[in-house]
Structure 1
Amino acid sequence: MKKIILLVLLTTALNFSLMAQSNVKIYKLSAYGIKPNSGKNTTPLLTSLLKEIKSKTSDLDKVIIQFEKGRYDFYPEGAIKREYYISNHDQDNPKIVGIEIEKFNNITLIGKGTDLMFHGRMLPLALIESSNVKIKDLSIDFEKPQITQVKIISNDTTAGNIVFETAPWVKYKLKDSTFYNTGEGWEMQPTSGIAFENGTKHIIFNSGDIRVGTKSVSEVSPGKIKAYHWKNKKLISGTVIAMRSWHRPAPGIFVHKGKNISFENVKVHYAEGMGLLAQLTENIYMDGFGVCLRGKNDPRYFTTQADATHFSGCKGEIISKNGLYEGMMDDAINIHGTYLKITKKLDDHTVIANYMHEQSYGFDWGNIQDTVQFIQSKTMELWNAKNTIAAIKPILRNSTDPIKEFKIEFTKALDPVIDPSKQDIGIENLSWTPSVVFTGNTIRNNRARGALFSTPKPTLVANNLFDHTSGCAILLCGDSNGWYETGSCRDITIRDNKFVNALTSMYQFTSAIISIYPEIPDLTNQKKYFHSGIRILNNQFDTFDQPILYAKSVDGLVFTGNKIQTNKEYPAFHSNKKRFLFERVIGVDFSDNKVDGKPIEML
């Protein structure tokens, strides 16, 4: 007992000693001439101050940077340029960075309701190789979004022409009878669009991605454009359209190789890529994070160009609670790793493996001692035997090339059947897979899907509202053939959520409100099962159509205590006419479910 007491006293003394050596350094930006509502370019001033702070800070110091409430403008002039390879984004470089927090430990940015307004094409906030970072009470937006918002004034479906009116903030020009949205140092021709109901901001029923009339146009009057070859009977007068391209150069917030990253009451109102993209990061906490409009009176109908939040190759835990995700052009959250494809087997311990998707390469994939497993791409069957990385090295033709290929040596000899000359084989890094808590969030009025989860670690999806997600509300996927996004879910609970009129349009993998849809090219010859341990409990489904649950290649599926309430708000249209459609599913527990108050059987 005396030894234990002595150890506690020594530990306490050491902790106090470390605390005494550390300092809390508070930097009020107004004291350094960085003041709100000035209209001045904050970019070079804050960049210079961060560099100065870094030079005076030790790893034991805690840094607090305080904004005053108000608007701060960030312009590309004076910004740093960085070569970042960002998962699931366009790999064009360099990126123009507004605020870079690089290799900081223990730093907090406090906004006090600060509005960070960016100009041109920028990556607003980059958190690079930093730990114990907290971002609090601020918002990110752009003065001139690349998405063009217009309203339909008239639609002559017989003649095949439409007159639309640009939103007041939109600047444009006509060149060779083609409409171009113009901004600060950029211009673009929109090629696609999402149509919203005027007022409700729901996406127009059964519309999906629409063609927009930006060719063969003329100006009727300032702000009013006539498109002569645009025919779509669903676009009634008053319909609001977010016209866009498919480019996604940079997210609003980029986190790379971080640890213990926290966002509290942070909002992203627009980004030309995703709202938040984190890769190779351990432990991410979001409370009150939003990719959202500026309230009910915001004249915009859209937020980000792609996903609201996206996590690639992360580990530890990802917690998202009390968030609001609306108006984005893709999913609210997507969590996955990346399969490498084995292209060559050098010997029984060593392979060459590649990144395969054009938007995912250029960053590390694994470390020595990471645990991996192998998958047959056509059947998506895993080999039971796992292995460990003994050595991993990027293969570069030139020193400036981005990472696309690795030479990987494993501690144990590979099974002879792992042979890329005979079949396509993927590798998954199991060490970089997170547990997930996604609770108390609202997802509404967005394109494509609600939430995507692809991790074998425990995942809880609870007490969320999925309101008019135009595709499926929840997707459990996995794909070693196209997107190369890992992996199988082994322990996921989806409970106490409310789903309101999901699945109003068709997108990829949207076979039901909850769609368990791994991409399996050869399901017929699959012998094992991809997903397992899926529990769907006590949820409320308000729906106008049939499909509730689609499941493919699952061993162990519980669907109990769920209530389905039907309505007539839209006509049924989905090609899947079954409430529950299963393909290669075993171990099903289906009980105590009701439709309109009456018990329902699975089939």
Structure 2
Amino acid sequence: MLNNLKFLVGLCFLVLGVSTSVKGQQLIKIEPQLGDMTLVVREALEKVNQKDVKLVFSEGTYVFKPDYARQQYSYITNHGNGLKNIIFLMEDFDSVVIEGNGAEFIFQGQVAPFQFKNCKKIRVKDLTLDWDIPFLFQGEVVAIDSVQGWRDIKPFSDGYSWEVKNDQLHFPNIHGFSFNELGSTLAFDPDLKRVSHGAWDVNSNPRWVEKRSNGILRFHEFLKHYPPIGAILNSKGEKEKNRYAPAFQVVQSNDVLFDDIVIHHALGMGFLFERTQDITIKQSGIYVRKGSDRVVSTIADATHFANCKGDILIEDCTFMHMLDDGTNVHGTYVEVDRILNDKTVRVALKHFEQMGFQFADKGDVLWFIQKPNPTRTLENEVVTLVQINDRYIDITFKNKLPTNLAAGDILENKTWNPTFIMRGCTIKDHRARNIVLKTPQKILIENNNFSSMMSSIFFRGETFYWFESGAVEDVLIRNNNFEYCAYSGMEHAVLKISPRLGKDFDATETYDRNIRFKDNTIQTFDNRIIWADRVDGLTISGNTIKQVPSATRIYPMAPMMHFINCTNVEVTENSYEGPNTNFIQNDNQSQKTLIFKGNKGFKYK
């Protein structure tokens, strides 16, 4: 049987895949065919014997199933580690080129579509990715009884997969995998396909699920926040199982370009980059397919960059309907576990989705951040690393450790931090923030259109939960349009700067610095525009702010601008139109150096 299978695979490759060599580059041409294309691609890649490869797909639809995928244990930051079914595994190439020519890739079940590892140049162009059945449960809220603790849901069935078994809902029931609880659950506006106004994240685990007449399911569960009747309720499963893999994972690679890529669904993030240098994503999109009844595209962030360096550019892209941020750019904090000798320290990765992450390598320069002071102080060069396991690392330095270094202090990688530019993009109609930024290198955000459930632009280095570093030092946010922002039930702002460090760090010391918010247009319903904590150097200048009655204010008593433990804040030449009379709230520290002048429509007492 196995020999027959190999013969059929070889025959299929001869028919569908043509491999030639042109000037040292191995060229593979693949045509679409009905049925699973996984073996065709696998066979083609296993025949590659050169360091430069180019895959050219003809226009058409290609289906990929997990049955014959490459299996490899994978560490994937901000996802679940484990044995993954990988369709395109691209490792150790000098160059990889994938030309899609408008091809559409449809994936089934738990698969990791693309993994690029240790590649020197990557080019991927003109592809669309989707799943035949999403790893989501979705239904319309038709009735609620908060006293008895139940909600009635009319589930979506066409194009979805679920079953009620032993009085519990299981989904997606694909290739033997199901979530055992609803897990992260959120209400969406059925007409606008965005998170419902004032919605809260809910972790749902019903006591039991009851089948009712007319296909209705009754979920018996007391909730703190019930969804509105008529909303679309969407669930993505329990926390530690609902991020299988991103659509594209790029690790330890250089010179990366994604051009004209559209992702309609993924079992994690859209694009994930780890310890990768010089990245461009342009003219690409993440959103549900036009005409689809789905309200969610990717399970997590559209784009995510962990310990990258060089230049990152995201240009002319559209990100919508994700269940997390539009982009997150950050480093990683590790915590000192113990001092081994005067040059060697054992550190720990702290978050469960960071296990196995490569924090540093020989030659990297690390910052020491010693409690209670959260600022970067001494630095030292790594000489050797010993990976004890997926959590602990022994690091030996060129010079002696600080004499007062102690358990609980944190280290940050200075070498691996990128510059970041986002321009000409639209990010809206999704859960969480538009942009989360944590790099000390130059940041430019210009000429974008933003609408956010939570804060639109968010700065939060933190050692509390995610252990994502770090403080920003050079940020320019200009000529952007913000419309309908911060409509989550939890309080947010258009621009929020909010470090979250452990209890042993001084909560009054400045953390982020040199942020300029200039010449932007803000049109939103609620009060909060700027909310800044522990910033040294914040310029808010030339912005046009209009508060409109497009939705009910959620926090009508909040100030328009709120400064806590800040220094050198300038609010100049801005204009405001709207009903708010609570303009600026300061503490004593922020008030000492605040400059307020030339503003129209609001005042500072």
**Fold similarity call, TM over 0.5:** yes
Which range is displaced more, 562-571 or 180-189? 180-189
- Aligned equivalents of 1:386 and 1:578: distance in 2? 40
| Secondary structure of 2:212 counterpart | strand
How far apart are residue 25 of structure 1 and its match? Answer: 4.2
- Aligned equivalents of 1:425 and 1:278: distance in 2? 27
From 363, 384, 394, the equivalent of 1:391 is 384
Superposed CA RMSD in Å reads 2.3
**1:430 counterpart = 2:409:** no
Counterpart for residue 394 of structure 2: 407
Counterpart for residue 43 of structure 1: 38
AA of the residue aligned to 2:274:
Q
From 74, 77, 91, the equivalent of 2:67 is 77
How far apart are residue 584 of structure 1 and its match? Answer: 1.4
**1:291 counterpart = 2:291:** no
**1:455 counterpart = 2:439:** yes
Say if 1:110 and 1:137, in contact at 8 Å, map to a contact too: yes
How far apart are residue 325 of structure 1 and its match? Answer: 1.1
AA of the residue aligned to 1:171:
S
From 129, 137, 141, the equivalent of 2:118 is 129
Cα shift readout 1:467-506 (whole Å, capped 9, x = no counterpart):
2x11110111101232111011011111111111111114
- Aligned equivalents of 1:134 and 1:558: distance in 2? 38
- Aligned equivalents of 2:603 and 2:502: distance in 1? 30
Q: Is the alpha carbon distance of 1:236 and 1:518 closer, same or farther for their aligned partners in structure 2, counting shifts above 3 Å?
A: closer
Say if 1:378 and 1:521, in contact at 8 Å, map to a contact too: no
- Aligned equivalents of 1:279 and 1:376: distance in 2? 26
Cα shift readout 1:236-279 (whole Å, capped 9, x = no counterpart):
44321212223212111111111111100112211121111110
Counterpart for residue 6 of structure 1: none
How far apart are residue 452 of structure 1 and its match? Answer: 0.4
Counterpart for residue 470 of structure 1: 453
Q: Is the alpha carbon distance of 1:416 and 1:236 closer, same or farther for their aligned partners in structure 2, counting shifts above 3 Å?
A: closer
Q: Is the alpha carbon distance of 1:261 and 1:582 closer, same or farther for their aligned partners in structure 2, counting shifts above 3 Å?
A: same
Say if 2:137 and 2:162, in contact at 8 Å, map to a contact too: no
- Aligned equivalents of 1:590 and 1:45: distance in 2? 60
Say if 1:374 and 1:382, in contact at 8 Å, map to a contact too: yes
- Aligned equivalents of 1:340 and 1:546: distance in 2? 37
Which range is displaced more, 458-467 or 345-354? 345-354
Counterpart for residue 9 of structure 2: none
Say if 1:314 and 1:337, in contact at 8 Å, map to a contact too: yes
**1:324 counterpart = 2:318:** yes
Counterpart for residue 358 of structure 2: 364
**1:502 counterpart = 2:485:** yes
**1:347 counterpart = 2:344:** no
How far apart are residue 24 of structure 1 and its match? Answer: 4.5
Unaligned runs of 5+ in 1: 1-19, 397-402
Counterpart for residue 270 of structure 2: 275
Counterpart for residue 168 of structure 2: 178
- Aligned equivalents of 2:331 and 2:549: distance in 1? 40
**1:264 counterpart = 2:259:** yes
- Aligned equivalents of 2:213 and 2:371: distance in 1? 55
Counterpart for residue 203 of structure 1: 195
Q: Is the alpha carbon distance of 1:377 and 1:125 closer, same or farther for their aligned partners in structure 2, counting shifts above 3 Å?
A: farther
The residue correspondences of 1:52-201 to structure 2 (distance < 5 A) are: 52-53=47-48, 55=49, 57=50, 59=51, 61=52, 63-91=53-81, 93-155=82-144, 160-185=150-175, 186-188=177-179, 189-201=181-193
How far apart are residue 395 of structure 1 and its match? Answer: 2.0
- Aligned equivalents of 1:575 and 1:348: distance in 2? 55
- Aligned equivalents of 1:302 and 1:87: distance in 2? 22
- Aligned equivalents of 1:234 and 1:290: distance in 2? 32
Counterpart for residue 439 of structure 1: 423
Say if 2:182 and 2:235, in contact at 8 Å, map to a contact too: yes
Say if 2:141 and 2:152, in contact at 8 Å, map to a contact too: yes
- Aligned equivalents of 2:281 and 2:559: distance in 1? 37
How far apart are residue 525 of structure 1 and its match? Answer: 4.0
How far apart are residue 376 of structure 1 and its match? Answer: 2.8
AA of the residue aligned to 2:120:
S
- Aligned equivalents of 2:517 and 2:339: distance in 1? 41
How far apart are residue 529 of structure 1 and its match? Answer: 2.2
| Secondary structure of 1:46 counterpart | helix
Cα shift readout 1:408-428 (whole Å, capped 9, x = no counterpart):
1222222222232xxx21000
AA of the residue aligned to 1:600:
F
**1:537 counterpart = 2:530:** no
How far apart are residue 353 of structure 1 and its match? Answer: 1.1
How far apart are residue 346 of structure 1 and its match? Answer: 2.2
- Aligned equivalents of 1:524 and 1:84: distance in 2? 34
How far apart are residue 373 of structure 1 and its match? Answer: 0.7
- Aligned equivalents of 2:550 and 2:205: distance in 1? 29
- Aligned equivalents of 1:447 and 1:290: distance in 2? 16
TM-score, with structure 1 as normaliser: 0.88
- Aligned equivalents of 2:61 and 2:455: distance in 1? 37
TM-score, with structure 2 as normaliser: 0.87
Say if 1:379 and 1:522, in contact at 8 Å, map to a contact too: no
Say if 2:374 and 2:505, in contact at 8 Å, map to a contact too: no
| Secondary structure of 1:145 counterpart | coil
AA of the residue aligned to 1:592:
E
- Aligned equivalents of 1:24 and 1:184: distance in 2? 38
AA of the residue aligned to 1:386:
E
Alignment length, in residue pairs?
Answer: 558
Say if 2:527 and 2:556, in contact at 8 Å, map to a contact too: no
How far apart are residue 308 of structure 1 and its match? Answer: 1.2
| Secondary structure of 2:74 counterpart | coil
Counterpart for residue 537 of structure 2: 556
Say if 1:191 and 1:214, in contact at 8 Å, map to a contact too: no
Say if 1:166 and 1:223, in contact at 8 Å, map to a contact too: no
Which range is displaced more, 312-321 or 516-525? 516-525
AA of the residue aligned to 1:278:
F
Q: Is the alpha carbon distance of 1:447 and 1:156 closer, same or farther for their aligned partners in structure 2, counting shifts above 3 Å?
A: same
Q: Is the alpha carbon distance of 1:575 and 1:517 closer, same or farther for their aligned partners in structure 2, counting shifts above 3 Å?
A: farther
Q: Is the alpha carbon distance of 1:220 and 1:232 closer, same or farther for their aligned partners in structure 2, counting shifts above 3 Å?
A: farther
Counterpart for residue 299 of structure 2: 305
How far apart are residue 462 of structure 1 and its match? Answer: 1.0
How far apart are residue 339 of structure 1 and its match? Answer: 0.8
- Aligned equivalents of 1:256 and 1:306: distance in 2? 18
Q: Is the alpha carbon distance of 1:266 and 1:441 closer, same or farther for their aligned partners in structure 2, counting shifts above 3 Å?
A: same
- Aligned equivalents of 2:220 and 2:503: distance in 1? 45
Cα shift readout 1:519-561 (whole Å, capped 9, x = no counterpart):
1345994574211111111111111111111111111111100
AA of the residue aligned to 1:27:
I
Q: Is the alpha carbon distance of 1:51 and 1:348 closer, same or farther for their aligned partners in structure 2, counting shifts above 3 Å?
A: same
Q: Is the alpha carbon distance of 1:149 and 1:360 closer, same or farther for their aligned partners in structure 2, counting shifts above 3 Å?
A: same
- Aligned equivalents of 1:333 and 1:243: distance in 2? 22
AA of the residue aligned to 1:114:
A
Say if 1:274 and 1:306, in contact at 8 Å, map to a contact too: yes
